[in-house]
Every structure is written in C-alpha cells, then in structure tokens.
Structure 1
C-alpha cells in the first residue's frame, strides 16, 4: 500500500468513526447502566447514578468508575467479613451464657432500651459487657493529655487506627512516643486511612529506620481507583488490651482549641475512654482491620486480650458494646442500631452530628418520635466544612421542623461530635455521621454505652452547647432566601452519593 492509498484508508476510517462512533458509546452506556441495575442498590441511589451518567457525558462515567463501583469490591469485603466471623465463632458460642446474663442485668437497669445490646449480640457484632469504666472527653484539649499519658504508660501493646493523622505538633508527639515505646519492646501497630492521612503516609515513606509496624488502609493506586470511595473513618486506640479510646477526634492540632495553635475555627468534638472487658471487643475490631490491611499477623491470645470475657475485674458501672459497619456488612448496622434505640425511646432524644443526610428510615424514625410526644433535639453546625454536604443537609430540615423536632445550629465554630443520648440512659459515641456515607460506604464504629454519669454529662454538654446555638423555627426557615433553598434542593439530588 503506497502513501496515497494509506492516506485514503485513514480518511475513510475517520469518516466511518465520525458517522458510527455512537454505537460503541451506546453499548458502553448500556453496559454501565445494566451493571448499576444488577447491583440492586437502593432505588434512590440507583436513579441518582443513572442521572449523573446520562446528564454528565463522559464525566459521569469517570465519576462512576472512581466512586460508584461496588459490586465486585463489596462481594470481596463481605467474604473477608465472613472469614473473620468464622474465626471467632467458637469463642462467641462459648460466651453465649455470659452475654445473656449481661443483657438481663442491662435490662434491669434501662428496660427495653437493652434491645440495642440484644441486636448487637444477635448480629454477632459485639458482646454486651458490664462493669466497665467510661470517661467522657470533650474536645482535643480534653482528650489528648489523657491519651498521651496512656501511650507513655503502655507496657505491652499500642494499637492505633485513625482516619486523619496529621504530622503537626500533636501528631509528631504521638509518633515520638510510638517510636520510644517500640524501642522499649512494646508492640506498636499503626493503621491509617491512605486518603485521610496523606501527609503521614508521605512522612513515614521517607523513614528508613521505623521501629513500629505501620499499614495504610486500602491504599489507592491507578489499578485500584475504584476502591477510593471506601474509606476507614474509624478513630480508635487500644493500649495494653486494657484501655480503649473512641470518638470523633482525629490526631490533629485543629481539634485542640488552644490560642497557640492559631486555629481559625473552634472545634467541638467528643471522645470516650473505656476500661474493662469491653476493650476486648475494641481490640478485636482493630485486629479485623489490621488483617484486612495485610498487616503482619498477630494472635489475640498472646496478651492482647487482657480483659477476656467473662471478667470479674470490675472497673466501673458502664455497660458497653460496639457497633461496626462497612461496605461488606450484611446491613447498615450502625443505622439499624440507632433505629432500635430510637424505637425504644420514652422521653427525650438528643442528637449531635456535623452532617445530616439521612436515610428514609432514620428521617421517618425521628419525625414519628417527635410527633408521638417525645422531645427530639438535633444539633448541627451553622457552617460546615463541606459546601455540598452542608446544603444537602439543609434540604432535610423542613420536614423535621414540621413534625416538632427542635433543630439547633451551632454558631461558635464547627461541631464535629457524633453523639446520641436517649432518655439519659443510653448513648452512642463514635465516628458515625448521620449520613449515607457513614451508614453504607465507610468503615465506621460507635460505642453503645449505658452509664448514668456519661449520659448525664452528655446531656449537660448538650445544654451548654445550646448557649452557642440558634434554635431554628419553621417560620424562620420559611423566610430563607429562595435561591438558597433552591441550592439546597439541587445538592439534595446528590445526597445518595455523598
């Protein structure tokens, strides 16, 4: 074929592609849309993805590739969960009588609210434990002095799992202690989310003589871009198998409201320190995450479960269990545990969340609770750190106000706490936002606590925070700028994807 013939062939090929390019594009779109339908997602979420793909040509497909793929990945994560559960089955069966005794004790104390603990036991998420100590820690300035002290006093092991770990003042201090304790012979394992902690990932990659074990959770590479949507949002630490920390506070200076930090925003957050048999369940949670991240295996019976259940070493009066959920969970367990508690509420429900993009089930539960005579109060930040999520959240407020829910907007700074307090008898403290991402996509965990002191302190803190809030009324809500309300509605279309 000479040059002229080659040029003629090329031109004919280009003409053919210009005329018929839409055929492979149609097949590509049909393939993607068929995949979404086959996955049997929530119908609202399915429709949202279809709208994104249809009305954002090419860009919509890229968004779906990076953030929407679920089918194969979730099946793999579910297989991992099944394998982990199978490894613990024998011990779980052994503890069955102990768990039933504890639930009976909890029921004597809080009545039918104990059904939350029964739900967690039946789903084999966490054993109900009693005789624990529980200490509420408010803001970074309340948590970190206690946290650092526990790290320095570690004798056997330190296990840390965080979404955000900054290499700033507090982060460097924690790293220094981890190095120091590792040199002393303490087993130190650090697990961070690869997207949430990019600065730490780069920092540790440069370290040639790291003395402790470190893993990135679901690292994102070019070949694993589809996994980037699944993040480990948990913030837990387990020291010596005796002390556990859980809550919304990441390892970052921003959570410490110290004038020396020059923070532009006041951060209100909540964490919990736990001692006693419940820490064993938190240790198992870390163990599961560490195995999923392909960390060097360790056996739980090698001194890591110092408070093995049953345990008569009473540390306090708190009944504690944990609820975990992740993309491979059989159900949105964090949401379901909340729904069980809301359904058993008798007088008052107080919720604090930085993001409110609820499922239909949660929204209905709150509206029904308020309409049936319960006092339901919710606290949200007046200004969020996410523009789209903020406006999507606002679109869900009016139905709550119409049914009698009291909604407070926190004005002092950014309220990042994730807590629920029911009847002053049962509380949820953890990493779970009241949004679709926390319920269905992220790796999340919350402590379920029945302790009179903790519940009373949570209620008192809620009342103090009210002083820095504006109570929104339905009449005031209707006065909002029509353009802002329109923006809320547009952002709400993306709610199932957030």
Structure 2
C-alpha cells in the first residue's frame, strides 16, 4: 500500500514529463511531414489547446506519415505492373494529343497533363451521354447490367440495400450465377450494410471486397476513404459521376416529402472505358481483392472499328499517396486556359489556396466565372466554412449561386463549352488530398452544351449571392463562418 501511494505521488508530481514528451513527439511528426502550412498550424493548435481530445482526433484523422508512405509504395507497385500496357498505348496517345490540340487549343493541355503523369491515355471517338439525377443514371446502369455478357465491375462509396440497391444486387447475383465475372468494391465506411450482407452470404458468386475496413486497431484508416462511383460493364461501357447507389438519388414524384437530390453522371462508350477499367483494377488490387489479370474481355481497345462518337475522354485519379493533388492540378490547368466562361458545381466548397486564387484571378481577368453551391449543406461546419470563402470571390467578380430546390450533389466543371469535368471530386481539401477520387475529363461540344443548359436550368432554382447580401448577414453568422474556416484544413 505504501508503495502504491509513493507511485501515485510520483505520478501526480511528474506526470507532465511523459505528457510533454508525447506532445513534443506528435508535433515534431506533424512538422516533419511537411504538410500544407495551414493544415500543420491547424493540427498543432488543436493538439495544444484541446488536451487529450486533440491527441485522439489526431490519431483518428490526422496522422499520415506511415499510412501515406505505404500507399505510395503500393502505387509504385501498380505503376510497374501497368508499364508494359502503358507503353503499348504510346503511339495512340501522341496522335490523339495532336488532334486534340487542333480541336480545342490550349485546353488540350489538361489531356497532356494526364498523359505525362501516366494517369490515363487520351482517347478519341467515344460516345458520351449526360445523365441527370438517379432517374436517368439507374435506367442506363440497370440496362447495361442486364445486357452484360462478360464482366461487371462496380466501385462505389455508398451502396445501400434499399429499393434500387437491392434490385441491382439481385441482378449482380443472377449474372454471377450465370458465370460472368462480377466484382463489387465498396467503401467500408460508406456501405456498412452491404459489407454485413456479404459477411452473412459467403456463398455468393459475386467477388466482393470492402475498402479499408475500420476496426479498433485500424481506426486511423477511417480518414482515408474511397469516394469513387464507377461502373464498367463488359470493358465497353463505363459510368462515372457523383451518383451513388441509393434511393436518395431518385426523385420520386409520388413522395413529395423526400429531399430533391440534384446530381450528375456520364455514360461512356468507346476506347476511353479501357482507362476506367484499369482504374478499377488498381483499386481492386489496393483493397486486397482476389487478383485477376487484365486480359481479353477486360481491356477492349479497337481503333479499326468505326468510332462510337466524337468525344475525347481521359481520366484523372488521385489518392493520398499521389505524387501531387492531380485532380486539383488538372482543374487549375483548365481554369488557367479558359478564354471566356467557367461554370462550376459542387456540394462542398472548402478550397485550397491555389484553387481560390485561380478563380479570383480568372474573374478579375474578364472571364465569366459562375459557382453553384447548395443553399443548405448536409454538414453544418462545412456550410459555414464555405460561406467564409464566398466573400473574397464576390469581391473579385465571381458569381455565386445557392441552389434552393433541394441538395445539389453534382461535381461538374464546364469551360468555354469545350471541356468538362464530371466525376466524384468536390472542390474541397478532402477530395484533393485525402480521399480516393476520379474525374472524367471530356471534350465534346454536345455534352458541354447540355451541361451549360442544365446549369441555366438549375440557376432558376437558385438565389444569387451578392456582396451586399453577404454583408447584410448577421454579424454572429459571419463570425461563425470565420471560426469554422479555421477548421477548414481538417474538414
């Protein structure tokens, strides 16, 4: 008993020494990682001024040194696996890049960027179909699955077992029973119900894998999520965009109580789908799915047949192990080469300094820059952080619209009616640096025209924010915006 009291007294008197060493070690680690300065300062402040809780938050959501090092190592392994296949595409790439330069001028540099970074080969002669909301996307996806003859690959952040989710899962089970290669990759955080389903149904013929499952020993993985929404059918048809597999994306006219959900996806048919297939293969391997070879039936590239359409397509993917924030960089190149108009739609706007500056400079240089955001976000902190970034845009001439019909979840950019981005990438730091994301970059006059018309339709459901309106907001709300902005690097 006396020994216990002595130890207790020692701990009471000297507890601060091991705690100080722990804090010093964590803060030193953050500094060594050479993060974005604002992110570094934010984490240091959280750890210093929120004792114990700050350390816990950093463990769960902040530490990245070991994890990202592993992710980068796995990315290099994937690159080596694909080197031979990439080299086979080189003659096509240079030919297509030259044609693109004649077609869209300097905007073709976005395609050159994806090629130089070995993210995706540019492809011409694709057919693209713009899909607005779940009402259009699911009709096309279900039809493609029903008609599949060889393979079905799905990669989704959210796959819910509601009406549409159960319907698609039943179709996948039927196709797998018939001998097709059906692979389903979902995020463990975004799709917990489906993950539990496959734990109970081990007899399923569907090849299933859950991305980075989170257990007590791997809680830190919860910060790195696969946010992609991709489907590849028979190596010929691809789907990409913001629409997950869930009833919420279907606006049922019979149920007026449901929140209206505005979103956008695109269906791609042609040689570009081979690049989307490779992206799925990479994700499957990273998630630990049972390995398979990219052989006949999976990668279909045929330049001898008549072209499917007139669209040029490439893809930009990014993840926490990427050499750079590739999606953000591709967007910056497109903004920098714009001549007259940029239209952006995003549900979350917590931008990097680079993106914020690019938009302000473009508007100040006489380019019409329009940004559409939801009037009411599904995240209180993000909503107020976003508002803090709006004022500088308004001061420089950017037009900002707040969508009021429901929740706008689309992630699209349309530049000069010549180049469009449609994918899973939000205009926020999490999408640029933390999540696994992918975007289709498309040059097609018809698609760009459709995107512009849809933007104008959506504007009718918006309230335009002006600088005078922003200044009339209550002081306490503007103060709250500023406070939430301090947390922006951590959101």
What TM-score comes out, normalization by structure 1 length? 0.97
- Indicate which of 297, 313, 317 corresponds to 1:320: 313
Mapping 1:221-240, distance limit 5 Å: 221-240=215-234
Q: How does 1:12-411 map to 2 (within 5 A)?
A: 12-260=6-254, 264-307=258-301, 310=303, 312-411=305-404
Cα 1:359–1:268 change in 2 (3 A) is: same
Structure 1 runs (4+) greater than 2 angstroms displaced: 259-264, 310-313
Displacement of 1:264 after TM fit? 2.6
C-alpha separation in 2, matches of 1:438 and 1:312: 37
Q: Which moved more, 1:198-207 or 1:437-446?
A: 198-207
Tell me, in whole angstroms, the C-alpha distance in 2 between the residues paired with 1:468 and 1:242. 36
For residues 198 and 462 of structure 2, what CA distance do their matches in structure 1 show?
A: 41
- Is 1:458 the counterpart of 2:451? The answer is yes
How many angstroms apart in 1 are the aligned matches of 2:474 and 2:39? 28
Residues 468-495 of structure 1, C-alpha deviation per residue, up to 9 Å, x if partnerless? 0011111111001111111111111110
Distance in structure 2 (CA, Å) of the matches to 1:107 and 1:261: 48
Rounded Cα–Cα distance in structure 2 between residues aligned with 1:396 and 1:273: 33
Q: 1:253 touches 1:261 (CA, 8 Å); kept in 2?
A: no
- Tell me which residue corresponds to 1:421: 414
Separation in structure 2 between the aligned mates of residue 312 and residue 73 of structure 1, nearest angstrom: 45
Q: 2:485 aligns with which of 486, 492, 495?
A: 492
Shift of 1:97: 2.1
In terms of mean alpha carbon deviation, does 13-22 or 157-166 score higher?
13-22
Q: Give the SS at the match of 1:228.
A: helix
Cα distance, 1:312 vs structure 2: 4.2
Secondary structure of the residue aligned to 1:304 is: coil
Q: Could you say if the C-alpha distance between residues 30 and 389 of structure 1 is closer, same or farther in structure 2, counting changes exceeding 3 Å?
A: same
Structure 2: runs of 5+ lacking an equivalent: none
Change (3 A) 1:485 1:311: farther
Shift of 1:262: 5.7
Secondary structure at the aligned position of 1:220 is classed as coil
| Distance of 2:153 and 2:89 partners within structure 1 | 24
Asked whether the 8 Å contact 2:403–2:459 carries over to 1, the reply is: yes
SS in 1 for 2:223: coil
What is the rounded CA distance, in whole Å, between the counterparts of 1:362 and 1:118 in structure 2? 20
The Cα of 1:225 is off from its aligned counterpart by 1.2
8 Å contact 2:352–2:429 — kept in the other structure?
yes
Q: Give the stretch that moved more between structures: 8-17 or 249-258.
A: 8-17
Distance 2:421 2:275 in 1: 16
| Partner Cα separation in structure 1 for residue 3 and residue 326 of structure 2 | 60
Q: Is the contact made by 2:42 and 2:486 (CA closer than 8 Å) also made in structure 1?
A: yes
Q: Is the 8 A contact 2:122 2:314 kept in 1?
A: yes
Report SS of the residue matched to 1:250: coil
Secondary structure of the 1:364 match is helix
Using the TM superposition, give the Cα deviation of residue 261 of structure 1 relative to its aligned residue in structure 2, in angstroms. Answer: 5.1
Query: Aligned equivalents of 1:303 and 1:203: distance in 2?
Result: 29
TM-score for both structures, normalised by structure 2: 0.99
Q: Is the CA contact 1:276–1:313 (under 8 Å) kept in the aligned structure 2?
A: no
Deviation of 1:93 (Å): 2.2
In structure 2, C-alpha distance between the alignment counterparts of 1:87 and 1:357, rounded to whole Å: 35
Alpha-carbon shift at residue 92 of structure 1 (Å): 1.7
The alpha carbon displacement at 1:301 in A equals 1.1
Please report how far the alpha carbon of residue 147 of structure 1 lies from its aligned counterpart in structure 2 after TM superposition.
0.8
- The count of aligned residue pairs is 491
**Could you tell me how far apart the structure 2 residues matched to 1:293 and 1:376 are?**
39
Q: Secondary structure at the match of 2:124?
A: strand
Quote the RMSD (CA, aligned, Å). Answer: 1.0
Supply the distance in 1 between the matched residues of 2:304 and 2:24 (Cα, whole angstroms). Answer: 58
Q: Structure 1, unaligned stretches of length 5 or more?
A: 1-6
